[in-house]
């Protein structure tokens, strides 16, 4: 059965279908739908019926029946914890009893899942888990909005986990920082040994840059978006004002990357040991490929920064040229990661 990833955000819905062929995975259907402001706010569904209508129309147009669906990062808690050694069958019950020690949500108001990062460590006598917790009303809201749309959700997953599956090469045990520069917010996460171990959300995205240009130059939103795409962070005598406008708006992102990078590399982990160093920062999201953006973020940071390859775990360019262009694929990283979710995780 083809696997479809559904990335739902405040401003849009993106989906990608992956199909098994003789030459490996290839992209089948993919697409984008705008979401009117106010239907979803901060990841929380405010107007379920209007969102349901969009999903129903997508089912009718694209014949999508089953999907893996994203849950909003800003509404979730994702952390690594250590627990005493126990049987797999006992883990969930143990977490239910102590969930409130890890997150500010009562067990009755939460839904959670976990992955085992490391099994029993004989030296430390503990197990390491990656724990994901979402308020129950948020999870039920996303599950309920698919009712009567023709689309059946197979699994739900936090955005950061899906992005990591898409852009970190399978089997790569390195440590990376991921910056997902979206339209209304930016997700920053750290991935180590193929597990998301830290997430943070900043309410600054590409739309803020567009509005800053619109205000500074007194032009329409359409004109501002066009100028942003054409000039980006290119710095010369003709674009000086534009560069300063963008820089003052997005400087918070640069500060946040530096803050998390320094903290991770200088503080010990929960066992009092040094953490593995962040090898590089990977950028994805719709506006991450603006001209000069990578160079701007790189200045003053002591690590590499590069645009992510959202197709790295789908297929190789030696066998397959994807239908989605590279610049557009950065917007589809979450959907691709959801489509790549292995069936044994259901």
Asked if the model's pLDDT at residue 123 lies above 80, the reply is no
Burial annotation 206-240 (CB, 10 A radius, 16+ → b, else e): bbbbbebbbebeeeeeeebbebbeebbbbbeeebe
pLDDT of residue 15: 97
The answer to whether residue 218 sits within a structural domain is no
Range with the poorest average pLDDT among 17-21, 285-289, 300-304 = 300-304
Give the CATH number, domain containing residue 116: 3.30.420.380
- The overall average pLDDT reported for the chain is 90
Asked if the model's pLDDT at residue 69 lies above 60, the reply is yes
Asked if the model's pLDDT at residue 177 lies above 90, the reply is yes
Report, as an integer, the average pLDDT of 26-41. 93
Report, as an integer, the average pLDDT of 90-110. 92
Range with the poorest average pLDDT among 172-186, 246-260, 278-292 = 246-260
- The candidate with the shortest Cα–Cα distance to 278, out of 307, 312, 313, 305, is 305
The answer to whether residue 179 sits within a structural domain is yes
The answer to whether residue 220 sits within a structural domain is no
pLDDT confidence band for 322 (50 / 70 / 90): confident
Select the more confidently predicted residue: 117 or 198: 198
pLDDT confidence band for 298 (50 / 70 / 90): confident
The answer to whether residue 236 sits within a structural domain is yes
The answer to whether residue 54 sits within a structural domain is yes
Q: Tell me how many domains the chain contains.
A: 1
pLDDT of residue 110: 94
**DSSP character for 151?**
-
Pair of tokens at residue 36: 């009117």
Q: Which of 80-94, 158-172, 191-205 has the highest mean pLDDT?
A: 158-172
**Whole-number Cα distances in Å, 272 to 120, 256, 266:** 18, 24, 12
Range with the poorest average pLDDT among 69-73, 270-274, 308-312 = 270-274
Asked if the model's pLDDT at residue 280 lies above 50, the reply is yes
Helix (H) or strand (E) holding 234: none
Helix (H) or strand (E) holding 65: none
- What's the sign of the alpha-carbon dihedral 47, 53, 59, 61? negative
The answer to whether residue 223 sits within a structural domain is no
Q: Which residue range is the domain that position 142 belongs to? A: 3-212+230-345
pLDDT of residue 119: 65
Predicted structure pTM score? 0.92
Asked if the model's pLDDT at residue 200 lies above 70, the reply is yes
The answer to whether residue 107 sits within a structural domain is yes
pLDDT of residue 79: 86
pLDDT of residue 346: 44
The answer to whether residue 219 sits within a structural domain is no
pLDDT confidence band for 18 (50 / 70 / 90): very high
Asked if the model's pLDDT at residue 122 lies above 60, the reply is no
């Amino acid at each position: 059965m083809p696997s479809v990833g559904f990335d739902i955000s405040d401003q849009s819905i993106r989906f990608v279908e992956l199909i098994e062929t003789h030459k490996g995975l290839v992209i089948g259907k993919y697409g984008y739908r705008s979401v009117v402001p106010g239907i979803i706010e901060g990841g929380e569904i405010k107007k379920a019926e209007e969102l349901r209508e969009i999903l129903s129309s997508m089912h009718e147009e694209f014949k999508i029946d089953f999907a893996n669906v994203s849950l909003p990062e800003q509404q979730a808690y994702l952390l690594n914890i250590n627990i005493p050694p126990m049987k797999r069958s006992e883990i969930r019950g143990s977490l239910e009893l102590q969930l409130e020690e890890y997150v500010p949500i009562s067990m009755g108001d939460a839904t959670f899942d976990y992955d085992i990062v490391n099994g029993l460590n004989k030296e430390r006598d503990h197990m390491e888990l990656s724990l994901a917790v979402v308020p129950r009303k948020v999870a039920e809201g996303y599950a309920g909005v698919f009712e009567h749309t023709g689309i059946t959700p197979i699994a739900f997953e936090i955005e950061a986990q899906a992005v990591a599956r898409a852009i970190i090469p399978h089997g790569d045990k390195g440590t990376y920082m991921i910056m997902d520069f979206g339209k209304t917010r930016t997700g920053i996460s750290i991935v180590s040994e193929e597990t998301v171990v830290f997430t943070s959300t900043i309410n600054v995205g590409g739309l803020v840059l567009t509005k800053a240009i619109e205000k500074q130059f007194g032009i329409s939103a359409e004109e501002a978006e066009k100028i942003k795409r054409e000039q980006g962070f290119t710095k010369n005598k003709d674009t000086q004002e534009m560069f300063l406008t963008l820089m003052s708006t997005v400087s918070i992102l640069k500060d946040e990357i530096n803050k998390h990078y320094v903290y991770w590399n200088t503080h010990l982990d929960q066992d009092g040991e040094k953490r593995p160093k962040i090898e590089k920062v990977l950028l994805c999201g719709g506006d991450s490929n603006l001209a000069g953006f990578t160079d701007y973020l790189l200045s003053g940071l002591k690590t590499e920064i590069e645009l992510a390859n959202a197709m790295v775990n789908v297929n190789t360019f030696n066998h397959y040229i994807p239908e989605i262009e590279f610049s557009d694929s950065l917007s589809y990283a979450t959907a691709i990661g959801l489509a790549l979710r292995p069936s044994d995780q259901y």
